[in-house]
Amino acid sequence: MSFNEQAAVDAVTTIMHDVLEKQRYCKGDALANRKIGAMFVVNGKQNLGKARGKIMTSQESVLSAVGATHWTPNVFRYGKYRKLNQHAKVLTGHEEGNLKAITCFVVDVDYPAGEKPEYGWEIDCFDVQLLQRVMSPNLVLGTPHGYQAYYILDEPLWIKRNDQGKLPALISAKMVSSAIRNAVAAKNDHTDVGANHFGFFRMPSADNILEMDEDTYASFAELQEWSMSLQKTAKNSDGDEPAGPRDQIHTAWFKALAAADVDAMKQGGLARNNTLFTLLLAMYSSKQPLSTASKFAEEWNARQTDPLPKRELRSTLASAYSGEYQGAELSFVKELCTQYAPGVTIHGTGHAWKHIKRSREERQHSHLDEWGVDLVHLAEASTDRVNGHARFGVEQLERDLKIGRRSLMRLLDKMQASGVFSVQRKRGRNGCILVATSRMMEEYVRTDKRLNAQERREMLKVKNQQEAEETPFMVEQLNLFYTLKPVEVPPNQRY
């Protein structure tokens, strides 16, 4: 499906959630009731690296920038320009502590040069199994080396300081973001779990939108409950290193990263600041005094080929010892070791679940057949019939089959294209999905006395035409659907 510029505008508008003022400020406008906030827009990867772009304080200004390459989809309290010299200025203010509202979570999948697969191969990796349903992204963008998936909240999550000066909503949001990234990473090894949770991402445009779903948005309460259940399960699990911290400074990974020379920037990965931050979190969780951590940070930085500025060093130390974090998260540690200490083995991943990975072809086809078996049994057992077809709501099918929206649509397309099933989709306020097998249609024609002779002939003609067009593969699949009983497949084994 191709998307036009209006689709990009609609996507950006949805993500902004009316957090910013609608119109640009004009001289003479009253400031008292004006919404305060800022988003940042950058055009070009080179400018992104140098933090050169524009600060947008209204929806109108953000929408006028659609077509730029990068933006901050989440909203900050303010933005400022810092002058470098007479001819150049850079953006400031896009730090976590300055966040005003979180409107979405973004996952970035980045492949090595020349290895980016067709999107169809990776479509299922962005489906995340929550407690009650499968969450699919609302927006998927193509990037030069991969894909970015947006999970948009149904309403903004407001970031406010409590009486202790901490940001509890931000801490919870980062837990949710990490959980989503880890779920995607379990199915796709190229997921960048260490990227800034609420930084710059690709901006939707007519050229990069691959998929849009504006029907269902996630609530933060639902995501928070899910992520907390993962944390609880991880703490109670046996055999793996728990998600929470232990004495992390006496591990092989800590020693390896402490001795590593980390690049200033590495394409698609983590860098000096995140590496030092992870090491300092390990020291904090291991009850090391602040003075010891400060000395360690200065010595580690001095050994680097390209050391951090002193101000950034102090800021990283203060953040690690702020009390907002428990310790180094093992998913980050694994990513860092992959890049800077590849010989180190990490025992335990910090995940609350295990995943048995399958080949791409198996992922692409076998699960559609499993879901197809379940759907046929649901259809034949259904008592809600319309003209011989079982009637389902879209969300009902997603919940019952534990399937994402995009996978459900592909399943229905495959069943309809086979000629063995009748699939109808009704849109609108009372929209639904109607599914019938040939056997269901035959039973309907035989038993419904309201049909006149012409209608019976037409329906039987369709049925006979379907049977005449069946290939051996279709017959085999139909027999499979009719003879197999539904199998309960655990949600984490469906990927």
Same domain as 209, residue 266: no
More confident residue, 245 or 142: 142
The CATH number given to whatever domain includes residue 437 is 1.10.10
Decide which of 236, 269, 297 is a domain's last residue. Answer: 236
Please give the mean pLDDT across all residues of the chain: 79
Q: Is residue 48 domain-shared with residue 109, that is, in the same domain? A: yes
Do 307 and 170 fall into the same domain?
no
Instruction: Look at residue 151 and tell me whether its pLDDT is greater than 90.
Output: yes
Does 297 share its domain with 326? yes
Q: Helix (H, G, I), strand (E, B), or coil: what is residue 394?
A: helix
Domain termination residue (choose one: 203, 236, 269): 236
229 inside domain: yes
Enter the DSSP assignment of 204.
Answer: P
266 occurs within a structural domain: yes
Q: Give me the amino acid identity at 36.
A: I
Least confidently predicted of 179-188, 307-316, 415-424: 415-424
Q: State how far the Cα of 353 lies from the Cα of 290, in Å rounded to an integer.
A: 34
Among the candidates 340, 368, 387, a domain finishes at: 340
pLDDT at 176 over 90: yes
Tokens 């009902």 found at: 396
Lowest mean pLDDT among 27-31, 134-138, 295-299, 423-427: 27-31
Specify whether the CB–CB gap between 104 and 202 falls below 8 A: no
pLDDT digits (tens, 9 = 90+) for 91-106: 999 999 999 999 999 9
User: Taking Cα atoms as reference points, which of 151, 213, 156, 158 lies closest to residue 17?
Assistant: 156
Question: Alpha-carbon torsion 8, 13, 14, 20, what sign?
Answer: positive
Do 210 and 263 have their domain in common? no
Average pLDDT, stretch 49-78? 94
pLDDT (mean) for 298-319 = 87
Are residues 53 and 76 part of one domain?
yes
* Residue-number span of the structural domain to which 270 is assigned: 248-340
In a domain, 256, yes or no: yes
- Are 40 and 187 members of one domain? yes
**Are residue 33 and residue 168 in the same domain, yes or no?**
yes
What's the sign of the alpha-carbon dihedral 474, 477, 482, 483? Answer: positive
Within-domain flag for 95:
yes
Q: What is the pLDDT of residue 360?
A: 42
Q: Could you tell me the pTM of the whole model?
A: 0.59
Token pair for residue 263? 């690049």
Mean pLDDT, range 178-187, rounded to an integer: 90
Residues 153 and 277 in one domain: no
Least confident interval from 201-215, 311-325, 342-356, 398-412: 342-356
Pick the residue with more confidence: 450 or 388? 388
Lowest mean pLDDT among 70-79, 218-227, 237-246, 248-257: 237-246
238 pLDDT above the threshold of 50? no
Answer whether residue 14 is part of any domain. yes
353 falls within a domain: no
418, part of any domain: yes
Instruction: Please spell the DSSP secondary structure of 46-83, one letter per residue.
Output: HHHHTT--EEE-BHHHHHHTBTBSEE-SSEES--EEEE
Evaluate whether residue 19 is within a structural domain. yes
Residues 333 and 416 in one domain: no
Band (pLDDT 50/70/90 cuts) for residue 407 is confident
Whether residues 192 and 72 fall in one domain:
yes
185 and 73 inside one domain: yes
Residue 343 has pLDDT above 70, yes or no: yes
- The domain total for the chain is 3
